[in-house]
Structures are given as structure tokens and as C-alpha cells.
Structure 1
Amino acid sequence: MMRSEVADGCTVDFPLLRWKSAGNGDVQAWAALIARTAAVEKPVWFEHQPELEQIMESRKNPPEHNTVLGFDPDGVVRAYARITKNTDSEKAYGFGCVDPQWQRRGVGSALLEWLEARTRQRFAEDAGAVGEGTQNGTATPRLRIHNEQQHQHQAALFTSHGYEVVRYFNEMHRPLAAPLPGVVLDPGLELVTMGPELSEAVRLAHNEAFRDHWGSEPKDEESWGFIVNDPQARPDLSAVVLERSTGTVAGYQLAAHDAESAVTRGFSEGYTDVLGVRREFRGRGIASALLADAMRRFAAEGFDVASLDVDSENPTGALALYLKMGYKPVNQSLAWDKALGQPA
């Protein structure tokens, strides 16, 4: 049996691997594990080393308490899991993968059990931090995990552990070779390129715009930083619509580009990571103008498609808008939830 060094007394029940929380010296090997797995499973998106380095800097979800890596006898990382959670949230998010050479041995089940145990701990810790009398202090621990529809082995694992699908999301593409729509805004509005001086105002506008979206939680400075400072973020391909008379942020489109995906997927894409319009400005064509502007920026970069993801039950009618703009669904992903009782 291999010795494990996992913080918080939360261990992984798979003794053929040595388990420890992620440290800065592990990031390269961690990224190599994800890349090996992605080469076989071919997900639409996966984390690269720069994203993992960003994760290592998290203050809300410090990696020494919220990650676990499994090493084989030769010191190769073969599996990982991590959770993220806001202090006052009613759910935690789980992430992980298992090296294809180590799948079908029970590692995935062991990681799910660790994720669930650590989620219970986080709820208990956060209840103490915000007060037992708050909503979070009495909430049932809940873990949410996302996967792509193509990964049926993951779906089977989640189902066998009592998870249920609670939402579907569509990945949508819009070919940029087709004629592009014009960018039309009324005279009281102006469109500008996203810059760091707008970041805080856009963050506040985002929290307002997404207040009625399923599963969305307000972005604090750290979680917002994960978006605007992401290594793949492209502020030069992003835009903000301002009200001319007040300078108020009416809407925004934040774009990203993964240069490596052009090799793995066979086409290049400009990705709209976040698109939002504040309530009082809806119905004025702002989202359409932002998408049209994004398409033109992406096309000027030589990208093949504009892409985005949308909640299939989005209450703002976003799916209908995207279809009207020429986007078509190409893939689907799922959100799985499990309500966790207290440990026996």
C-alpha cells in the first residue's frame, strides 16, 4: 500500500496510487495527465498548464485543501480531482480525470467519493464561516459536475453513484465564411473594445445581467479574474456597449481563443465566453450587435467559426437569438447534481 499525504483527513480509497494535494511543483505533471486524457477522450475544452497555474493562486479554493493528485509507483500522475465553492453557495463544483491507462479499475469511483467527502467538509467549514443561522448554514451539501454528452463512460459512472442530470447546454457554431450581419446600435449607445479600465464596471453589469440565470452566482474579484485574466482571454476581440449619456455598461461580449484547438478540432474558432445585457437595456438589439461585432473581429483574425455555449432553457431567449444569428448546435453538455447527506 502506498503512503498518501492528503490534507483535512479526506483521503482517496485507492491504495495503488499515492495521493497528495497539488503543489506548485506538480503543475507540469498535472497538465500532462490532462493532455494525455484529452488526446484519447477528445473533449471540446480542457485545462492547460497556464490555467492550472491560475488555479494554484486561488484564495477562495486553496489547492492544498481542494485538490488531490494520484501518483503511480514511478511518480507519474495518473488521476486528479478538485472542487471549487463560494462560501455562501448552495453547491460545490467537481472536476477531475483519470489517465486512460488507469480507467476501469475503480479510480473514478474513488475520486467521486473524495469529491463528495470534501464537499461535505466545505459546507461544514463555510457554515462556520458565515454563521449557522444563514441559508448556507442549513443547506444540504450539493455537488455539481459537468460532462460532454459524448463521454458515456462518465455518464455511466455518475448514474451509478446517484447523480441526476439537471440541465443541458448546447455548444453552437456560426461559420464565418457566410455573410456577416451588420452591427447596428441606436444613437444613444456606443460600442468600444474591452479594456482593463472597464473590467470592474463590466463585472458589476455581469452580476446584474446574470441574476436571473440558472446556476449563476455573483462574481467576486477573484472569480472574475479567472475570466478576464484567463490565458486564452482575448480582450482585443471583446467589446462593451455603453450608454453615451452616462457611461453605464449596457452589455458586453468577452471572447477567448484556444490556438491549440485548431490542431485538435481541425478548425479555428473565436469563442464568446460571456455575453450579457443588463435588464433595463434589453430589447434594444444590444446582444445582436455584440455578436455581429464579435463575428467581424473573429473573421478579421482568420478564424473559421464563431462559437459559444448556451443553457438550453435560458430564460432570456438566448437560444432563439443565436439561431437567428446563424449559430447551430454542434455538441451538448450536461450538468449532473447529487444532494449529499452527512457522512455516516
Structure 2
Amino acid sequence: MIPEDNRFESHPADVLPHDTGLPEGWAVETPDGTHPPTVARLAELLRAHEHAGRGWAGSGEDEVLVETLGLAMRENVVVVDPAGVIRAWGSVHDRAEGRMLLVHVVDRDLDDELADRCSDLLFAWAGVQAQSVGAARGLGVQQVDTGAFAGDVRQQRWLAGAGFERVRTWWQMSRPVEPQESGLVPDPARWERNGVVFRLVERGDDGRPSEADLRAVHDVLEGAFTDHFNSAEETFDEFIHRLREDPGHRWDHWWVAEIVDGPEVEAAGALVGTVSESDAGPDGSYVFYLGVLASARGRGVATGLLRTIIADAASRGRDRVGLEVDADSPTGADGLYTSMGWVTKYVTESWHKDVTVSRD
């Protein structure tokens, strides 16, 4: 189900000034996100961006398609040279009320002056999109949320120059998985310890998950992250639509933890996992979300869910489990992860800008 109509301005000519400041023959366009050569070129730009920022590339065409085909909640723009080659790409995502995500990628082969101009155009375009989304949602301020790799000096310079502030640092962690760890829990599909049941979300004969279980996962995560950094309320439909867009999405990677030794069974923890596909070796698993309600903390719920996804990964022949952790979190979650074998592989940063929404 697509949650809402598109709140963005779809035509670059209605967003940017007539004189873009680009050389003759250059243009700003809306890309055809279904055209294979276009998707391949955007993936090439994204991979070069990742390689320059962290030393290796992990994304591909599937990640691009998430941005270009999420029509109801996303909009895209590209800068093309006189030969029709895409040299810069911007994508915005109406993520949740008050929070708009921005992808900002500029060809690493451009000279500094032209690269700067492309960057400025992407930020100008994103600023108008923030106005449009914020006005449609009835907001006075719309946040633009983007990021950079910790080592990407060029991206950091552009963000600071465009009025963004670095607000958070994230450790991207990974843990190796050994085949024998398939026995880490009795059965990743369902097991119990100390009055807590860890189980996959239920699915019917048609393979579709139980809506009650999905709503339980959503409610747990909304409750668990209420006080976390930059938490923004997300409707159930927005949540399901967004996670299903992820290339690694699989229904058999969603777990719920239930307290069963009280007066009523209570969903108190949830883990949403995904597949990290690899062309060069075994796939991995990834902890997309892990949340535990405050009322259940101290009962080993987070540890149990992590042991479950490790065991599941091992049973599938995978060699790693990745996750992201807030380097500034007061919860001390990084201590749990490091104690269970996770190490930081690289570091990313969140950069934010608040755009005042015009009342005109």
C-alpha cells in the first residue's frame, strides 16, 4: 500500500532558476528510473561516491531502484552533460513527518568548479522540495537529513557550505559468523528463555505475514525509539511501505520477542533483519532495526534477538551480521555489541538542515 500522494515538485524547471549557471549544453532533468542505462549510470556514480568516502563500494542497481521507483514518497533529479551523461544525482525521500532524506552524489571526475556548481544545484533543488513537503504536511519547519562518510572531506565541505550541521556520528559495525553458531539458539524460528519467547512473525499459507504481528513490530519500534536521536513518528503504512522497498527485505527476517510469564502475552522487543547480498562471496545478514521497550529491559531481550539473527545467518551459510549504532547514544548499546563480537568497519555522519516553510 502506498501511504500518500507525492508531495514533491516533479519538474526541475519549476524548482530551479532558468539560468542554472551550468556550461552551455548541460541540463537538469528528471531521470527515467526504469531505463536500464540510467539505473546503471546512477549505480556507477553511487559506487564511486562510496569508494571515495570509505575505500570500497557496496551499493548497486537495486539500491538505486529503491530511490528511483519509490514514486509516492521520493523524487529524483540529475545533471547531464552535453553528451547526455549523468554527472550528478539528487534524490529526496519524504521519510516521515518533519524528516526528509537527501541523497547527494556528484561525479568524482568533474573539475572542482563544475562539481561545486552541480552540488549547489542539488542543494537548491532539495531546499525547494523541503518547502513543498513541509507545506503539504502543514509544518513550519522541514528538516533535511543527509550524511557523509567520516573521511569524505569534499562532501563535508559542501554540506557545511550549504548550511548543514553535523549532528551525529554512526559506527557501522560487523560481526563474523561461524557455521557452528547455527546452534547458538535452539531454533531461530522460535525459542524461549526466562519467560521470553523469540519467534518469527507468523505467516499464512499464502506467505503473507500476520498484520497483527507486523503492527506489534511497528508499535514496539515506535515505543522503543521515542527518546532516541531524531526519532520521527511514522505511520504503520509508511513503515511497511518503506521497509518492503529495501532490496534485502525478507519476511522471514522479522522477529518479535514476547514476554509470556506475565498476566498477558506482551510484545516487548523486535528485530527486523535484511539480506546483505555479495557478488564476491557469501551473503550476510543485517540488523535493520532492533528495539526493546523500556519495560522489558534487563531481561535479555536484545541479547536474545541478536543471538537469534546470528544463528539464523549461520544456518543460511552466511559469514557476517552487520548493524549501525549511534556513537553518541546514552544507552550503551555499543557495549553489548562489542561484547558479542561486533567491531566498527567504518564511520558515517548525519548532517541536518532546518528549512523554514514559507506561508505564501
TM-score by length of 2: 0.78
1:228–1:159 distance in 2 versus 1, CA, 3 Å: same
Task: Give ranges in structure 1 of 5+ residues lacking alignment.
Answer: none
1:243 aligns with 2:249: no
CA distance in 1, matches of 2:162, 2:74: 27
Number of residue-to-residue matches in the alignment: 325
For residue 296 of structure 1, the aligned residue among 299, 311, 336 is 311
Q: What's the Cα RMSD here?
A: 3.1
The letter for the 2-side match of 1:258 is S
1:38–1:55 distance in 2 versus 1, CA, 3 Å: closer
Where in structure 2 are the equivalents of 1:121-200 lying within 5 Å? 121-123=129-131, 126-127=134-135, 129-131=136-138, 136-137=139-140, 139=141, 141-177=142-178, 180=181, 182-183=184-185, 185-195=192-202, 196-197=209-210, 198-200=213-215
Task: Give ranges in structure 2 of 5+ residues lacking alignment.
Answer: 1-10, 186-190, 203-208
Asked if the contact 1:70/1:79 (under 8 Å) is kept, the reply is yes
Structure 1 residue 334, shift from structure 2 partner:
0.6
TM-superposition CA deviations, 1:134-180 (whole Å, max 9, x none):
xx32x3x5432212123232223323444331100001122223975
Who is 1:104 aligned against? 112
For residue 271 of structure 2, the aligned residue among 234, 250, 253 is 253
TM-superposition CA deviations, 1:207-260 (whole Å, max 9, x none):
111111101212221343221442212333442212336443211111112223
1:270–1:115 distance in 2 versus 1, CA, 3 Å: same
For residue 213 of structure 1, the aligned residue among 220, 224, 228 is 228
1:86–1:333 distance in 2 versus 1, CA, 3 Å: closer
Task: State percent identity of aligned pairs.
Answer: 23
Asked if the contact 1:185/1:286 (under 8 Å) is kept, the reply is no
Structure 1 residue 121, shift from structure 2 partner:
4.8
1:61 aligns with 2:62: no
Name the structure with the higher strand share: 2
For residue 271 of structure 1, the aligned residue among 283, 286, 290 is 286
The DSSP-based 3-state class of the residue aligned with 2:167 is: strand
1:115–1:103 distance in 2 versus 1, CA, 3 Å: same
Asked if the contact 2:79/2:89 (under 8 Å) is kept, the reply is yes
Structure 1 residue 286, shift from structure 2 partner:
0.4
CA distance in 1, matches of 2:46, 2:268: 41
Asked if the contact 1:149/1:333 (under 8 Å) is kept, the reply is yes
Structure 1 residue 325, shift from structure 2 partner:
1.3
CA distance in 2, matches of 1:106, 1:155: 17
Asked if the contact 2:148/2:350 (under 8 Å) is kept, the reply is yes
Asked if the contact 2:42/2:64 (under 8 Å) is kept, the reply is no
